Amino acid sequence: MEAVVVENITKTYGKGKVLAVDNVSFSVNKGELFGLIGPDGAGKTSIFRMLTTLLLPDEGSATVDGFNVVTDFKQIRSSVGYMPGKFSLYQDLTIEENLNFFATVFGTTVTENYHLIQDIYVQIEPFKKRRAGKLSGGMKQKLALCCALIHKPTTLFLDEPTTGVDPVSRKEFWEMLRRLKKQGITIIVSTPYMDEAALCDRIALIQNGKILSIDTPDNVTRSYPANLYAIKANEMYRLLKSLETFPDRLNSYAFGEYAHATFRSEKLDTAHLEHFLTDKGLSGIEIKRIPATIEDSFIKLLN
């Protein structure tokens, strides 16, 4: 059973001048945790806004819970939960007031669906009399999630919920999403952080309004088309510069403490490369074959 079906939707701005979403199709199963992964300006927010009935697609069609996003917007609006990217709650209302307000607007009460948010809410409950403007980033995010969940939505749209949030809060946030998934809620989340992709059931990599690849994170990385090597040396900048001049090199880039590289020949002559790098004055050289990550796949797809 599919919760969201998107067929060939296109969206332009400024009277057709700016192409934001370019003929995109995908579908999300009920109860799935689906990730739209891509940088800012890739078209993620436009897709979210079309699915939440805030924008009309120029072409193509989409349904949420079987309802058409153009004609059945009323049904969709009462059944989905949405957390926009720049959403920042009402700064001058307290945690409690914010939550109560959104519950009432959605025609429910906090007690009615408390079981859904309990996990998250208990973490911020001690501060329930505090105004939202005075909360830390992580707490604001938890409150925002509570507000989006309070009416027991069938599908939850989270637009870049972790942008600008530190790694610890990000990790906690993803743990919350996994628990929500167990409650049977379909979750569609967008993020510019590639490392978060691995936590989704399926992902769509998106850039410049086009979907580059849709699959499970494992399949995306498994289908990496080349042999990937991680190379380490005592000096990163020199290492990168040296790799660029290595004749057999296809692509190379920094990746944490290593540089990742692909080569033209089927089997890399590691001894030869090590020799080459030593000649360039590098030391502490380590070369190993590694499986690709989502980020590697994305970089490959972009090239």
Partner 1 sequence: MEEKVIVCDKLTKRFGYFIATNEISFEVNKGEIFGFLGANGAGKTTAMRMLCGLSAPTSGSATIAGYDVYSETEKIKRNIGYMSQKFSLYENLTVLENVEFFGGIYGLTDQEIKEKTEELASKLGLKSEMKKLVGSLPLGWKQKLSFSVAVLHEPKIVFLDEPTGGVDPVTRRQFWDLIYEAADRRITVFVTTHYMDEAEYCNRISIMVDGRIEVLDTPANLKKQFQANSMDEVFYQLARSAKRADS
Partner 2 sequence: MKQFIAFVRKEFFHVLRDRRTLLILFGMPIAQILIFGFALTNEVKDSEILVVDYAKDDASQQIITEIAASRYFNIRNAALTHKEMLSTFQKGKIKAVIVFPASFNRYLLHNNQAQIQVITDATDINTANMITNYLTAIIKDYQAKINENLLVPYQIIPETRMLYNPQLKGAHGFVPGVMALVLMLVSVMMTAISIVREKEMGTMEILLVSPFKPVLVIFAKAFPYLILSLINVTAILFLSVFALDLPVKGSLLLLFLESTLFIITCLALGIFISIKTDSQQIAMLISLMGMLLPTMMFSGFLFPIENMPVPLQVISNIIPSKWFYIIVKSIMIKGLGIGSLWKETLILAGMTLFLLTVSLKSFKIRLQ
Site residues (CB under 8 A) for partner 2? 49, 52-56, 73-74, 77-78, 80, 82-93, 97, 100-102, 104-107, 131, 147-148, 151
- Residue 105 touching partner 1 (CB under 8 A): no
- Residue 87 touching partner 1 (CB under 8 A): no
- Residue 168 touching partner 1 (CB under 8 A): yes
Of the candidates 111, 245, 283, 303, which one interacts with partner 1 according to CB under 8 A?
303
| Binder of residue 254, out of partner 2, partner 1, none (CB less than 5 to 8 A by kind) | partner 1
CA distances from 170 to 3, 12, 73, 97, 137 (A): 26, 32, 32, 25, 10
| Binder of residue 86, out of partner 1, partner 2, none (CB less than 5 to 8 A by kind) | partner 2
Cβ 42 to partner 2 shortest distance, Å: 19
| Binder of residue 224, out of partner 2, partner 1, none (CB less than 5 to 8 A by kind) | none
Nearer to partner 2, 29 or 109 (CB): 109
| Binder of residue 44, out of partner 1, partner 2, none (CB less than 5 to 8 A by kind) | none
The answer to whether 154 and 184 are in contact (CB under 8 A) is no
Taking the C-alpha atoms of residue 132 and residue 10, their distance in angstroms, rounded to an integer, is: 37
Q: Across the chain, how many H-helices and E-strands are there? A: 10, 14
Cβ 90 to partner 2 shortest distance, Å: 7
| Binder of residue 266, out of partner 1, partner 2, none (CB less than 5 to 8 A by kind) | none
Taking Cα atoms as reference points, which of 223, 233, 225 lies closest to residue 259? Answer: 233
The answer to whether 58 and 12 are in contact (CB under 8 A) is yes
The answer to whether 231 and 239 are in contact (CB under 8 A) is yes
- Report helix, strand or coil for 197: helix
Taking the C-alpha atoms of residue 33 and residue 177, their distance in angstroms, rounded to an integer, is: 8
Task: Report 128-157 residues binding partner 1 (CB under 8 A).
Answer: 136-139
Q: Looking at beta carbons, which pairs linking 87-92 to residues 24 or more positions away fall under 8 Å?
A: 87/144, 88/132, 88/140, 88/144, 89/132, 89/140, 89/143, 89/144, 89/147, 90/132, 91/131, 91/132, 91/133, 92/131, 92/132, 92/133
Nearer to partner 1, 113 or 190 (CB): 190
Cβ 9 to partner 2 shortest distance, Å: 15
Of the candidates 35, 38, 43, 217, which one interacts with partner 1 according to CB under 8 A?
38
Cβ 102 to partner 2 shortest distance, Å: 7
- Residue 192 touching partner 1 (CB under 8 A): yes
| Binder of residue 78, out of partner 1, partner 2, none (CB less than 5 to 8 A by kind) | partner 2
Q: Beta strand pairing status for 33-37 and 80-83?
A: unpaired
Q: Say how far residue 239 (Cα) sits from the centre of its chain.
A: 31
Cβ 153 to partner 1 shortest distance, Å: 26
Please list the residues that pair with 211 across neighbouring strands: 206
- Residue 225 touching partner 1 (CB under 8 A): no
Cβ 216 to partner 1 shortest distance, Å: 20
Q: Which helix (H) or strand (E) holds 35?
A: strand 33-37
